[in-house]
Structure 1
Amino acid sequence: MLRVALSTVSELDSVRASAWSPARKRLFGLAAAMVAAVAVLAAAWLLVTALAARQQLNEVRGEEVRLRAQIVAGDLNSAAATAAAVAQHARRAHQLTTGPVWAVAAGMPVLGEPLAVVRAITSAVDRLGQTALPQLVTARQRLDPARLRRPDGSINLSEIAAITPELDTARRTVDSATDGVRATPRHTWLSSIDRMRAEALSQLGSLDHSVKSADMAARIMPGMLGEHGPKRYFVAFQNEAEARGTGGLPGSFAILEADRGAVHFTRFENDSAMNGVSAHVEFGHDYDQLYAGAGTTTMYGNGNLSPHFPYAAQIWSSMWLKARGEHLDGVIAVDPTALSYLLAVTGPAPLADKSTVSAENIVALTQSTAYTRFAGDGADNLARRRYLLDIARVASKKILDPHADTAGLTAAIAKAVGERRVLVWSADPQTQALLEATAVSGSIPVTTAPYIGLSIVNDGGNKLDYYLDRKLTWTRTGCGPSRDVTVAITLTNHAPARGLSSYVTGRSDRHSYPVNAGDNRLEVSYLASTAAILRSVSVESRPATAGLGTQRGHPLYTVDLELPRGTSHTIEFRLSEPAGSGEPLVLRQPLVRPLSVTIHDSRCD
């Protein structure tokens, strides 16, 4: 019976299956059509919303450019309105790329990666628009020069301290937004999205730098400007007609006092005030090996042979303590080009001889003209020192005038800091630790990133570096953990054949070969990436030798170069360097003529 029953059921199932087969086919066909329709609709929705989101992001980009210009111009009411518009467009872009369709599509392996990148970017932009940008505009409004600088010229430190919470929140928002974008795939199957991601990270990096710099300044400035009592600083004026590691030869100097936001100079001195004074400092074996016998701690003018500014600052601070018995809270270095940026804001300052010093003439006046006007030794030498001291005094007074344009001066200082023309060191370890994370510290970084560091020191004891051109080409090949690097440094001596005084062209070095007026001698040092290995060095394609040392973990190779007037010489270093992490970092030693740098780097995933 059971066998019969099972046979009957089997036959009935067969009949039923045969009867329902056409219906099932129609059902399956309808289901497939519906799935295809849904897929088409989803794809259409993704395309439409993606295009709309791109339009909103383009609006954000345009408004962001307008916002920057308004902030720089001090048009803060318009900046607030523009920031609100940015937030509106950013929120709309984010809304367009949310929802179940985008979530499912972006979660698909491989195929969804471009969509995941877009979602991360719109999310990041939305967070910035809702939080970071409004807070930055608010901070800028609170730092309005009309509120920040009192009628007597002193700085309202409470206003600076008050913006720290907003800047801290903005900094954390930028960090979070950056992390969100960075967590997405770097390479997808859609190259335009890859470029969008790279551009977004670049812009976020720029914003991150700006926010962190502002946050750092808000934390550091009140204390350094005497929030809790007077602070005293040594201000060295560097003359780049004679190159030193941090820029130029330290000449005249001043003592600056800051007390509860009020800043004034208490004295100006010639470099002769430091004659015979030694510093008591200790920087370790690497420093001693590099500069033994160079007089960096016994000669004020050689205190900054190293390009690492904190070394020079500690030497000068120690010298002042030895000379005057006065502890200093920090050291500042500034050069004539930086002063020209500031005088472009304030206008010219009158000199004792009824002439003026201005943005247009201060560089030439202090580093060239003065040596023509006071060409001799003895009385001329003393007169030139007084003249340069007078320039430093009147320029500084003009810059500290309470009626000067604070916003313009701030922008000028920022430009000079970006070129390493204004450097600051603090004797307070905590403040110095914060400064070392910024460009104003003039520090040689301890880093695993590829490093490109050219440092030139005048070895002839003359003033010919006013006419020096520098070009550096850095080429890296290969994509392994170790890369081949070629560094070509071309130096050109443009000193004129006539018209220069013997004080400018004279040589104080010892040499066993004949030299002519205008011939220069340079110590050319190259700081390479950490753990780099030198393969060869040549001068004008001929094998040469280089001194070897270490500075802040960077191998340092030094070539003694004779550079006759009117000639160019090329030094080439061939190295093997670790791949490192991040983009190459470039040391731009500030001299009269800017350093030209060309980078050729292999593109590796």
Structure 2
Amino acid sequence: MTASTEASPARPRRRRRRILLVVGLLVALLVIAVLYLGYLAYKAKGDLETARTQATAARSAVLDGDVAKAKAAAAQAQSSSESARSKTHDIVWSAAAAVPWLGDPLDSVSQISDVVADLSREVLTPIADLATTLDPTNLRTGDKGINTTLLAQNETKLGTIADAAERIDTRAAGIDGSWFSTVSDARDQLVGQTTKTSRFIRGTDTAAKLLPPMLGNNGVRRYFFAFQTPAESRATGGLLGAYGVISARDGRVNVDNLGPNTTLRAPSRPIDLGAEFDTNYAINRPYVDSRNSNVSSHFPYAAQIWMSMWRQQTGTPLDGALATDPIALSYLLKATGPITLTDGEQITGDNVVDITLSSSYKRFGGDNPARKAYLQEIASKAITTLTTARGNTGGVLEALGRAVHERRLMVYSNRADEQALLASSGLAHEVQQTGAPYAEVTVGNLAGNKIDYYLRRSVRYESGACTGDMRQSTLTVSLTNTATDLSLPAYVIGGLGNPDKRIRPGTNYANVTANLTNGAVLQTITVDGESPLYGTGTELGHLHVMTQLRIKPGATAVVKYTYLEPTSARGAAVVPVQPLVDQPAVTVNVPQCR
């Protein structure tokens, strides 16, 4: 009895020791697992950083046409990314990543490593094999043209790689950055890299599809070339200033005709763009007055009008049209180097905007023929620069990409398959026929002066929640006239192009047009809180609203639209920006309806 009584306290002690031993082992295993995870994370981080660095190096080498360097960098990126993938799919890592919430950062890193590995294998390695396609010595045929045959030969491969790049970019964008800021930052960096890579390769693929036929691989092509002047705003950017007709054959481009807008005569049999276009714009006489030929922001309308004018004037049919402006030219000249005029003056990326849109008006005063001849020469040199794409390939592609992104380079083809590609690449500058939320505001100069060089804009588009059939939306546009120097020439700040003699010098007299979401219902429009005269209609499915206003020197006018838009308008909001001199601030707060 005594022995049994003495033994009983020992059992709980042994049980406690066993429990403590088990807990100690579990804690030790947990510590080991955490240390192991830390080691894996440290090594994976290094692998991913190496992979991203080498991916950037591979892309740069492709643009330089350095096949050996591109392949070496792509191989290193693939090796490092596969190493990171193996670490982030380790059994311990995978088990930890499955823990709700706590494991979210680890799961995100696993997805990041998958994306980087697939980007290296499916995109960087195969594009490195095509580096010769973008080698400047191979892409150009001397200083006269572009080797479109080389592009055409590699178009199928480029298309396959571009498809893979876009799929991987979509996957990257779908990764949850998690609650851990370091992982969230890494995810954002990855998305930036995959987006840049996919856009670059898709752009190259689009060029390979479009340039061979459009630059005359199958016969001569002819195009109207418009050099727009955004100092006098029009819906597609600026007034048609100098223009030319260019011809292309086998990648070689020639300027056949060049002239100021005054030599483009009114056609005897104007083109007909339909009742809707006439309702909105007939008062501006766009079919017969080249100065108002681009009053709609839908570039194909302007292109067709210009082509019609040229054919009736010369009897020569054209295959399409393209337009650009001095701001886009400034981007290109920074990559290609300056152009030299016949008198030795150099036009550079730093001075071309000021020269063409401001100082030339002071320089030539009232001598318009001399000023236009000067601008024509610049336009002619610009065409050669644009079509030969001399200079560093990477810099040229980046300049062209920026011009396309800002809608400063626009192209139209009268062939439906080519026009579809131009639209998908952002080159068509169309009013999109989309069911998504949409807000586009354009300014048109009504005074016939060059005061829009001094115009500054901001746009704010906001909508309510996706409840019910309709939701409340507002579009607020602020327009600031920074022209306060009233000693500027009347040609710049006067009202010489408008018969209304009440326009005071320095006043920005503008037509403001908004294209809003398909199915939207306008409630109110105000200018500085007051109700203006306005008109409504439709344009390519959108609610179309027009009003006029005058902005005094140094003043700001605020135009506000309130309206209902259908919640059936799905997807991300589309907010095209008119390409003028400024880079407007655009704020979009429009919840996506699904």
TM-score (norm 1): 0.83
Shift of 1:303: 1.4
TM-score (norm 2): 0.85
SS in 2 for 1:292: helix
Distance 1:538 1:555 in 2: 17
Q: Deviations over 1:72-129 (max 9, x none)?
A: 5666644433222221211111111225445555566766655443333221211111
1:471 aligns with 2:453: no
Distance 1:212 1:179 in 2: 14
Q: Deviations over 1:296-352 (max 9, x none)?
A: 22222211111121111112112222222222111010212223333442323124x
Distance 1:534 1:402 in 2: 46
1:263-412 map, 5 Å: 263-277=253-267, 280-344=270-334, 345-351=336-342, 355-376=345-366, 380-397=367-384, 408-412=395-399
Decide whether the 8 Å contact of 1:462 with 1:503 is kept in 2.
yes
Structure 1 residues 315-324 or 175-184, which shifts more?
A: 175-184
1:67-216 map, 5 Å: 67-68=58-59, 70=61, 77-102=68-93, 114-151=105-142, 153-178=144-169, 180-181=171-172, 186=176, 196-197=186-187, 200-216=190-206
The one-letter code sitting in structure 2 at the alignment partner of 1:313 is A
2:516 aligned partner:
528
Question: Which structure is larger by alpha-carbon Rg, 1 or 2?
Answer: 1
* Aligned partner (choices 414, 417, 426) of residue 427 of structure 1: 414
Decide whether the 8 Å contact of 2:64 with 2:393 is kept in 1.
no
The one-letter code sitting in structure 2 at the alignment partner of 1:385 is K
* Aligned partner (choices 485, 506, 510) of residue 518 of structure 1: 506
Distance 2:198 2:338 in 1: 33
Structure 1 residues 112-121 or 533-542, which shifts more?
A: 112-121
Shift of 1:581: 5.0
Shift of 1:267: 1.5
Shift of 1:503: 7.0
Distance 1:278 1:240 in 2: 29
Shift of 1:442: 1.4
Distance 1:524 1:70 in 2: 46
Q: Alpha carbon RMSD of aligned pairs, Å? A: 3.7
The one-letter code sitting in structure 1 at the alignment partner of 2:133 is R
Distance 1:406 1:120 in 2: 33
* Aligned partner (choices 518, 529, 533) of residue 541 of structure 1: 529
1:499 aligns with 2:488: yes
The one-letter code sitting in structure 1 at the alignment partner of 2:374 is Y
Shift of 1:444: 2.5
1:243 aligns with 2:233: yes
Structure 1 residues 394-403 or 90-99, which shifts more?
A: 394-403
Q: Deviations over 1:177-209 (max 9, x none)?
A: 34545666x586767656655554454333322
Structure 1 residues 305-314 or 49-58, which shifts more?
A: 49-58
Decide whether the 8 Å contact of 1:533 with 1:576 is kept in 2.
yes
Alpha carbons of structure 1 residues 594 and 279: separation in structure 2 relative to 1, 3 Å: farther
Shift of 1:35: 8.0
1:7 aligned partner:
none
Structure 1 residues 576-585 or 490-499, which shifts more?
A: 576-585
Which residues of structure 2 form unaligned runs of 5+? 1-13
SS in 2 for 1:566: coil
The one-letter code sitting in structure 2 at the alignment partner of 1:160 is L
Decide whether the 8 Å contact of 2:435 with 2:570 is kept in 1.
yes
* Aligned partner (choices 536, 560, 566) of residue 572 of structure 1: 560
Shift of 1:407: 5.2
Structure 1 residues 300-309 or 488-497, which shifts more?
A: 488-497
Decide whether the 8 Å contact of 1:256 with 1:266 is kept in 2.
yes
2:10 aligned partner:
none
Q: Deviations over 1:192-246 (max 9, x none)?
A: 6566555544543333222222211111111111111111111011112211111
Distance 1:181 1:383 in 2: 55
Alpha carbons of structure 1 residues 211 and 328: separation in structure 2 relative to 1, 3 Å: same
Decide whether the 8 Å contact of 2:389 with 2:396 is kept in 1.
no
Structure 1 residues 540-549 or 258-267, which shifts more?
A: 540-549
Decide whether the 8 Å contact of 2:511 with 2:547 is kept in 1.
yes
Structure 1 residues 409-418 or 261-270, which shifts more?
A: 409-418
Decide whether the 8 Å contact of 1:238 with 1:335 is kept in 2.
yes
Decide whether the 8 Å contact of 1:132 with 1:169 is kept in 2.
no
SS in 2 for 1:560: strand
Decide whether the 8 Å contact of 1:135 with 1:170 is kept in 2.
yes
1:562 aligns with 2:550: yes
1:585 aligned partner:
574
Which residues of structure 1 form unaligned runs of 5+? 1-22
Shift of 1:52: 2.9
* Aligned partner (choices 592, 596, 600) of residue 585 of structure 2: 596
1:485 aligns with 2:474: yes
SS in 2 for 1:587: coil
Distance 1:217 1:435 in 2: 10
Distance 2:275 2:24 in 1: 78
* Aligned partner (choices 434, 444, 456) of residue 447 of structure 1: 434
Distance 1:429 1:401 in 2: 26
SS in 1 for 2:444: strand
1:21-60 map, 5 Å: 45-60=36-51
Q: Deviations over 1:399-419 (max 9, x none)?
A: 667975555444433332232
